[in-house]
Amino acid sequence: MTTPLDTTPGPTQPAPAPLIAVDRAVAELRRGAVIAVRGADRRVVYVLAAEAATPDSLANLTTLAGAKPFLVLTGRRVGVLDLAPAQPGAMRLDMASGLTAEACAWLADPVVRDVARPDTSTLTLTPLADDCAAAASVALAKLARLLPATVAAVPPAGALLLQGVLVVEAADIAAYPLNAARSLRLVSQARVPLLGAENARIASFRPADGGIEHLAIIIGDPDGEQPVLTRLHSECFTGDLLGSLRCDCGDQLRGAIAEIGQAGAGILLYLSQEGRGIGLVNKLRAYELQDGGFDTLDANLQLGFDDDERIYHPAARMLALLGVKSVRLLTNNPRKVDALAAHGVVVAERVPHIFPSNGHNQNYLHTKATRSGHMF
C-alpha cells in the first residue's frame, strides 16, 4: 500500500508579532530608514543600513540618537580588510575623526569605486556579543539581502524612545529564520507538465508573515512511506532562468527534473535562497569580485558573508508537511545531507548529481570540490 503525499493547503494562521516586527524592520532598512534595535540588555541602538549611508542620513542618525555613529561589520569583513584577525560575529568600528559616508562605503563594500581609502589610524575595533542590538542589526541586514553592514548610534542612557521609529528586538531577529520556516504552510498547488516530467505538480509554501515563498515540484506520485528521490535546489536566477554558464545550477535543475521524471516519482524543492543565501544583488557583487581573481567562497568572505549562508529548516518543514520522512537525496553537497538529518529527515541514500563542466565553470566546480567538500 502506498501513502500519497499530502498537498492540501494548510489553514491560514495569524502572523506572530515577532515575525511581523522583523519583516517590517527589513523593509525599513531596505528603504534606507533609521530603525531601533533592542538588545538582550534592553539597550537600544538606532541603525541604518551601511548601503544607505550618505552625509544626510548620517547627520540625521546623529541627531535622532544624540550620539556619534559607528560602523558595524562582520568579523569576516574586518578580517579581509586586515583590520583584525577574521572572527565569527560582528564588530563595532569607531572612528575618532568621525565616520563619513565615504568611509562607510569603502569599509563595507569591496566593489565600491571612486572612493579614497579612509584614514584607518583612528579606528577603534570592539567585538560585539551576538545578542547585543548592534550585532543583531547586521543579522537584520543579511535578512534584508543587503551588504552585512550597518551604521549604528547608541542614545544616552535614559533617553526616551523616539516616536515613529520602528523598534525590533534582537532576539526576534535571531529567531526569525527558524520561526519563519516553522510557520510555512502549503498555500496552493497545480498540475504543471514539465519537459521530461509531464506528470508534475507545483506546490507553493508561504511563511506566516507573507515572506517569500518556497516551491515543491512533485513528480509522479511519491510514496511517503518509502525514501523519496529528492533534490534540494537553491534558487539561481542566472543559471536556472538565463542559462548562465558561470555555475552548474541550470544543468542541475533540468537534470534533476529529468532524472526524477525517469525514475517515475520524486520531489524537487526549489528554495528561495539565491546566491547561497546572500541574494541576487550580492551574488552579482560576488561575481564582480570573482572577475577580479577571488574564488566563489572568498568572494563571499570579501563581502563579509560566510561562505554559505543557507539554512535547510524550510526544506525539512516542507518535507514534513508533504508527509515525507525519508529521502534519497540528489546532491554532491555533504552539508545538505547533514542539515536534513539534523532537522529530522532521514537521508537513506545520497545520490550523486554531477554534470560535466561547460568551459566557463571549471574554476567554480574545482572550488566546490577542493574547498567546500562537494563530492565530485
Ligand X SMILES: Nc1nc2c(ncn2[C@@H]2O[C@H](COP(=O)(O)OP(=O)(O)OP(=O)(O)O)[C@@H](O)[C@H]2O)c(=O)[nH]1
The residue ranges that bind Zn ion (CB under 5 A) are 236, 239, 247, 249
57 belongs to the binding site for ligand X (CB under 6 A): no
Beta carbons of 66 and 155 less than 8 angstroms apart: yes
Q: Whose Cβ is closer to ligand X: residue 150's or residue 296's?
A: 296
Question: Which residue in 65, 99, 194, 247 binds ligand X (CB under 6 A)?
Answer: 247
Report how far residue 10's alpha carbon sits from residue 336's, in angstroms, rounded to the nearest whole number.
26
28 annotated to a ligand binding site: no
The residue type at 307: D
Q: Whose Cβ is closer to ligand X: residue 170's or residue 271's?
A: 271
> What nine digits make up the cell of 3?
501513502
User: Which of 140, 265, 131, 255 lies closest to 198 in space, CA to CA?
Assistant: 265
* CB-neighbour burial class of residue 362 (10 A; exposed 0-12, middle 13-18, buried 19+): exposed
239 annotated to a ligand binding site: no
The distance of closest approach from Cβ of residue 117 to ligand X in the complex, given in angstroms and rounded to an integer, is: 26
163 annotated to a ligand binding site: no
Report how far residue 314's alpha carbon sits from residue 178's, in angstroms, rounded to the nearest whole number.
8
7 annotated to a ligand binding site: no
> What nine digits make up the cell of 63?
541627531
251 belongs to the binding site for ligand X (CB under 6 A): no
Sign, Cα dihedral of 246, 247, 249, 252? positive
Residues 6+ apart with CB under 8 A from 36: 44, 45, 46, 47, 161, 162, 165, 166, 167, 168
| DSSP letter for each residue of 250-292 | HHHHHHHHHHHHHHS-EEEEEE--HHHHT-HHHHHHHHHHHHT
The distance of closest approach from Cβ of residue 248 to Zn ion in the complex, given in angstroms and rounded to an integer, is: 7
The residue written with cell numbers 542541475 in the block is 252
Q: Which helix (H) or strand (E) holds 233?
A: strand 228-234
Question: Which residue in 137, 183, 234, 302 binds ligand X (CB under 6 A)?
Answer: 234
Question: Which residue in 331, 337, 343, 347 binds ligand X (CB under 6 A)?
Answer: 331
- Candidates 171-179, 192-200, 202-210, 327-335; binding stretch for ligand X (CB under 6 A): 327-335
Question: Which residue in 142, 285, 336, 343 binds ligand X (CB under 6 A)?
Answer: 336
Strands 149-153 and 70-74 come out as antiparallel
232 annotated to a ligand binding site: yes
* Strand order through the sheet with 44-49: 123-127, 90-95, 70-74, 149-153, 44-49, 35-38, 167-169
| DSSP letter for each residue of 4-64 | ----PPPPP-PPPHHHHHHHHHHHHHHTT--EEEE-TTS-EEEEEEGGG--HHHHHHHHHH
198 annotated to a ligand binding site: no
- Candidates 23-31, 47-55, 150-158, 247-255; binding stretch for ligand X (CB under 6 A): 247-255
The distance of closest approach from Cβ of residue 101 to ligand X in the complex, given in angstroms and rounded to an integer, is: 26
The distance of closest approach from Cβ of residue 337 to ligand X in the complex, given in angstroms and rounded to an integer, is: 9
- Candidates 34-42, 51-59, 246-254, 261-269; binding stretch for ligand X (CB under 6 A): 246-254
233 belongs to the binding site for ligand X (CB under 6 A): yes
276 belongs to the binding site for ligand X (CB under 6 A): yes
Question: Which residue in 69, 220, 275, 304 binds ligand X (CB under 6 A)?
Answer: 275
The distance of closest approach from Cβ of residue 236 to Zn ion in the complex, given in angstroms and rounded to an integer, is: 3
308 as an active site residue: the answer is: yes
236 annotated to a ligand binding site: yes
Q: Whose Cβ is closer to ligand X: residue 201's or residue 374's?
A: 374
Q: Which listed residue (298, 307, 308, 335) is catalytic?
A: 308
The distance of closest approach from Cβ of residue 16 to ligand X in the complex, given in angstroms and rounded to an integer, is: 28
- Interacting residue ranges for ligand X, rule: CB under 6 A: 233-236, 247, 249, 252, 273-276, 278, 283, 286, 296, 300, 331-333, 336, 353, 374
| Binding-site entries | 231-236, 247, 249, 252, 274-276, 296, 331, 336
Q: Could you give the residue numbers annotated as active site? A: 308, 310
| Binding-site entries for Zn(2+) | 236, 247, 249
